[in-house]
Structure 1
Amino acid sequence: MSSLRAKIQDVFNEPACEQNRGKDAKARKKGCSKPLTPGAAAGGCAFDGAKIVLQPITDVAHLIHAPLACEGNSWDNRGAASSGPTLWRTSFTTDLTELDVVMGQGERKLFKAIREIKEAYGPPAIFVYPTCVTALIGDDIDAVCKRAAEKFGLPVVPVNAPGFVGSKNLGNKLAGEALLEHVIGTVEPDDAGPYDINILGEFNLSGEFWLVKPLLDRLGIRVRACIPGDARYFDIACAHRARAAMMVCSTALINLARKMEQRWDIPFFEGSFYGITDTSGALRQISQLLVKKGADPEILGRTEALIAEEEAIAWKKLAAYRPRLEGKRVLLNTGGVKSWSVVHALMEIGIEIVGTSVKKSTVEDKERIKQILNDDNHIFEQMAARELYAMLSEHKADIMLSGGRTQFIALKAKTPWLDINQERQHPYAGYDGMVELVRQIDLAIHNPIWCQVREPAPWDCQLAVREELPRTKSETATLHAVQEFTGTTADDFGEC
């Protein structure tokens, strides 16, 4: 536990975090967690955050050392996609019982589970996750993993991020620490080249990184490791031989990017593949970093040629949507890198942003939003469900882009909604992804269902018609009883 405490403190003191550098020493020790609001959900725990970052490593067996309920459903981690192995979708757990805890059988059961996985599946590595229960009873995960690695001849990586140590974001960073300590740098590649890069914080949601990788391939740039989206253990183990790196989500793996720069001199920048302008900017920065690290400067010219070609194709496709979407108002209720990258992408085709949340966004993210919008009034840290509903029901936005948690607010307000968080079904990265995002927004806004759901209900029409017809005494009494029970009058029904 002392080593875990030291790791947590190290993550809290992350010097690459702009927000962290602005705090005094006392505030820095508390990390970035916020006090919980009574009655509000706490969000994910550290274990959840570590699993989110590491589970998309597709050929690895992920073993949860805990009671059965801690594992949950491996298919429900995120919408990450794999181009090959499916072992990451298999749930492995030691399934500790009360008797195991009382009798001290946890470590023995963990060792046995590692052996069974090795014999049945033969993975290149096994990641072991302790949770609150096994951490509190004092199971020595590090010792068991070390002994199992020696005995079975494969890497067994302890991921020390039990849920009680902190938030999901802390778990993200502890997962990065596990990769640094036990994986990255453990294998020397025999094909390292001057055009190798790492992509950090890219989860390949709905396979959207597959829209970006072909662009890099055309430039002769090889992705040595995409961490964690569609990753392989061997690729991550060789990631220290990359020449440059791009950070897609700094709040998750900023510590990983900084320490890789310190240890192996891999410079990095933070960018985005959402939107035409940001995708082009990311490609330019990757090429420039590679040239600084010794690559042939001719790649800069090839990059500009590729950008010009792809932008022309994308703008031609988007031209068909501009007349239908120009001036439409969008409310963006998300966070992180999407809080500014998606804003920039939508404004490129004339869509008006009436509000964007900055929850989970870094200081740099917020500064980018201010530069893009030139107006602080459209930026909100967090908006309550009641305020979201009021804004949508008053028709201040034509569509809301958010995650699945707030979709029912939009549907209740009879407003179009589109999922842009990890549960989304369509990839939105790169040039083709931008076209797909605009197409989905167009389909949502112009869906004929909204005209139908905004009309008065048929039974309201029937009551309104009956108001204008002669009624018997019994019919009048019945109608008055209905109005008294529902709290409505004939004026509430409107015209049908």
Structure 2
Amino acid sequence: MSLLRAKIQDVFNEPACEQNRGKDAKARKEGCSKPLTPGAAAGGCAFDGAKIVLQPITDVAHLVHGPLACEGNSWDNRGAASSGPTLWRTSFTTDLTELDVVMGRGERKLFKAILEIKEAYGPPAIFVYPTCVTALIGDDIEAVCKRAAEKYGLAVVPVNAPGFVGSKNLGNKLAGEALLEHVIGTLEPDDAGPYDINILGEFNLSGEFWLVKPLLDRLGIRVRACIPGDARYVDIACAHRARAAMVVCSTALINLARKMDERWDIPFFEGSFYGISATSEALRQISQLLVKKGADPEILGRTELLIAEEEAIAWKKLAAYRLRLEGKRVLLNTGGVKSWSVVHALMEIGIEIVGTSVKKSTVEDKERIKQILKNDNHMFEQMAPRQLYAMLSERKADILLSGGRTQFVALKAKTPWLDINQERQHAYAGYDGMVELVRQIDLAIHNPIWRQVREPAPWDCQPAVREERPRTRIETVTLHAVQEFSGTTAGDFGEC
């Protein structure tokens, strides 16, 4: 536990974070995340965050050492996609019970589970995740993994991020530390070249990195390792021979990028593949970093030719949607890199941004939003469902872009909604991804169902009473009962 505590303090002291550098020593030790209350995950615990970062490594067996529920709640937590191996889709857990805890059988059960996985699947590596229970009872995960690796002849990586140590974001960073300590640099590639790069913090959600990789291939740029999206263990182990790196989600893996720069002289920048301009700028910066590291400067010219060609194609496709969407108002309830990259992407085609959440955004993200929107009036740290519903029901936005948690708020407010978080079904990265995002927004806003659901319900729309004769006593009593039940008055009848 003392080693884990020291590692956590090291993660909190992140020199690459401008916000962290501005704090005093005491505030820096407290980290950026709010402390968790006992029994509350606060949007995800450290174990969940570590598993999010590492599970998309597709040919690795991910073994959770703890009760069955920990694996059940963390399985399939991202919509990442694989172009080959499917081992990462198989759940492995030691299924620790109360009797195992009392009898002290946790370490033996873990050792046996590692052997069973090796014999049944033969993976290149096994990642072991301790949980709150196994960390609290003192199971020595590091020692078990080391002994198993020596005896069975394969990489067994301890990912020391039990849930109680902090938030999901802290778990993201601890996963990066595990890769640095046990994986990256353990193998040497035999084909290292001047055009090798790493992409960090890209999860290949819905396969969207596959929309970007062909652009890099056309430039002769090879992705040595995409961490973690559609990654292979060997690629990550050889990632230290890349010449440059791009960080897509700095809040998750900025520590990994910074330490790889310090150890192996791999310069990095933070960019985004969401939006036409952002994608073009990312390609330019990748080429520029490679040239600084010794690549042929002619790649800069080829990059500009590729950008001009792809932008022309994308804008031609988007022209059909501009007239239908220009002036439409969008409310974003997301965070992180999407809080500014999606904003910039939508504004490029004339969509108005009425608000964007910055709950999970860094100081750098917030500064980018201010530069894009020219003010911070449309930024909100947190919006309660009641406030979100009020804003949507008053028609202050034409569509809500968010994750699945708030979709029912939008539906209750009879407002179109589109998923842009990790559960999404469509890929939005790159030039083609931007066209797809705009197409999905157009389909959602102009879906005829919204006109229908906003019309009065049939039971609120009674036909006018055409009879001239006086009502009988029974008819009068019945009419009053219907009015009282439906909350209408006599003047409401016949208005629909």
User: Which TM bucket (shorter chain)?
Assistant: over 0.9
> What do residues 176-213 of structure 1 show as CA deviations (whole Å, max 9, x unaligned)?
00000000000000000000000000000000000000
Deviations 1:202-240 (A, max 9, x none): 000000000000000000000000000000000000000
- SS at 1:263's partner residue? helix
Once the 2 structures are TM-superposed, how far is the Cα of residue 479 of structure 1 from its aligned partner? 3.2
Q: 1:277 to 1:98 in 2, by over 3 A?
A: same
Give the CA deviation at 1:465. Answer: 6.0
Larger deviation: 18-27 or 180-189?
Answer: 18-27
Any idea what the Cα deviations from partners look like across 1:81-131, whole Å, max 9, x if unmatched? Answer: 000000001000001111111111000000000000000000000000000
Secondary structure class of the residue paired with 1:467: coil
CA drift at 1:433: 0.1
Seen in structure 2, the aligned counterparts of structure 1 residues 256 and 65 have a Cα distance that, compared at 3 Å, is: same
Structure 1 residue 25 displacement after superposition: 1.3
What is the aligned partner in structure 2 of residue 154 from structure 1? 154
CA deviation string 1:351-385 (max 9, x = no partner): 01111111100001000000000021111111111
Structure 1: distance between partners of 2:178 and 2:198: 17
In structure 2, do the counterparts of structure 1 residues 491 and 327 end up closer, same or farther at CA, with 3 Å as the change threshold? farther
The CA distance in 1 between the partners of 2:469 and 2:105, in whole Å, is 80
Q: Give CA deviations for 1:38-77 in whole Å, capped at 9, x if unaligned.
A: 9997210000000000000000000000011110166521
1:20 Cα shift? 1.3
Post-superposition Cα deviations, 1:153-182, rounded to whole Å, max 9, x if no partner, equal 000000000000000000000000000000
Tell whether the 8 Å contact from 1:54 to 1:228 is kept in structure 2 after alignment. Answer: yes
Residue number in structure 2 paired with 1:272: 272
Contact 1:55 1:62 in 2 (8 A): yes
1:469 Cα deviation (Å)? 9.8
Contact 1:129 1:158 in 2 (8 A): yes
- 1:224 corresponding residue in structure 2: 224
TM-aligned CA distance change 1:17 to 1:492, over 3 Å? farther
| Shift in Å, 1:495 | 3.5
Comparing 26-35 with 91-100, greater Cα deviation is found at 26-35
Residue 485 to residue 35, structure 1, CA distance change in 2 (3 Å): farther
Residue 35 of structure 1: how far off its partner (Å): 5.2
How far is the alpha carbon of 1:17 from its aligned partner? Answer: 1.2
Query: Is the Cα contact below 8 Å between 2:35 and 2:166 reproduced in 1?
Result: no
Number of residue-to-residue matches in the alignment: 496
- Choose 450-459 or 45-54, whichever is displaced more: 450-459
User: Could you state the TM-score of these two structures normalised by the residue count of structure 1?
Assistant: 0.97
For 1:319-347, what per-residue CA distance to the aligned partner results, in whole angstroms no more than 9, with x for missing partners?
00001000101011110000000000000
Cα contact 2:199–2:247 (8 A) shared by 1: yes
CA 470–412 in structure 1, closer or farther in 2 if over 3 Å, else same: farther
Aligned-partner Cα distance in 1 for 2:37–2:473: 55
Which residue of 2 is the match for residue 438 of structure 1? 438
Q: Which residue of 1 aligns with 2:328?
A: 328
Unaligned runs of 5+ in 2: none
Measured after TM superposition, the shift of residue 491 of structure 1 is 5.5
**Partners of 1:73 and 1:91 within 8 A in 2:** no
Task: Report the Cα distance in structure 1 between the residues aligned to 2:466 and 2:36, rounded to whole angstroms.
Answer: 53
TM-score normalized with structure 2 length: 0.97
Percent pairwise identity: 93
Residue in 2 aligned with 1:234? 234
Q: CA deviation at 1:459?
A: 1.4
Tell me the distance in 1 between the aligned counterparts of 2:395 and 2:380: 18
Q: For residues 212 and 469 of structure 2, what CA distance do their matches in structure 1 show?
A: 65
Aligned-partner SS, 1:227: strand
**Distance change in 2, residues 1:156/1:493 (3 Å):** farther
How far apart are the structure 2 equivalents of 1:20 and 1:123? Answer: 39
More off after superposition, 108-117 vs 452-461:
452-461
Which region of structure 1 is more displaced relative to structure 2, 8-17 or 313-322?
8-17
Tell me if structure 2 keeps the 8 A contact 1:74–1:89. Answer: no
Structure 1 residue ranges without an equivalent (≥5): none
Paired with 1:476 and 1:319, the residues of 2 have a C-alpha distance of 60
**SS, match of residue 312 in structure 1:** helix
Deviation at 1:488, TM superposition (A): 4.0
Q: Quick check: 2:48–2:74 contact (8 Å CA) kept in 1?
A: no
Q: Distance in 1 between matches of 2:79 and 2:143?
A: 34
C-alpha root-mean-square deviation of aligned residues, in Å? 1.9
1:471/1:366 Cα in 2 relative to 1: closer, same or farther (>3 Å)? farther
Q: Which moved more, 1:224-233 or 1:374-383?
A: 374-383
